[in-house]
Amino acid sequence: MHDKELEEGSSLNPRFDANGLISAIVADEATGEVLMLAHMNEEALKRTIETREGWFWSRSRKSLWKKGESSGNVLRVSEMKVDCDQDAVLLKVSVTGDGKSCHTGRRSCFYRAIPLGGGNTALTFD
């Protein structure tokens, strides 16, 4: 496929990596806050599109999983976008249950800040 078709065309042609995965950024539909980053294989992408719920591929367990199966914090997908070269997707979601999308019990997986511009390497917590 030509870059022009891939970048400007109206067909979904996801570019999975050598492991058959595509990156999936999950953001809150109301605030835009990034909640998590996960990976999808072709089946997870298909199920997410069909069910409007977040499905992913666990690289550590090597299995398909639906976010919220055990926690109750299901991702309800209101919008899904693909980036310019179709190797990443963005899911805009609302989170059911207690609204926590991180397995640590936090709202977002991005809860630690990396200090910039100096010798301090200690992470700070939100």
* Out of 5-9, 25-29, 37-41, 97-101, least confident range: 5-9
Burial of 36 (0-12, 13-18, 19+ CB in 10 A): buried
Domain ranges within the chain, ordered by starting residue: 3-125
Summarised one tens digit per residue, pLDDT across range 37-73 is: 999 999 999 999 999 999 999 999 999 999 999 899 9
Q: What is the pLDDT of residue 120?
A: 81
Cα separation of 96 and 112, whole Å?
A: 24
Q: What is the pLDDT of residue 39?
A: 98
CATH number of 3-125: 3.10.20.810
- Element housing 3 (H / E): helix 3-8
Summarised one tens digit per residue, pLDDT across range 65-94 is: 999 998 999 999 999 999 999 999 999 999
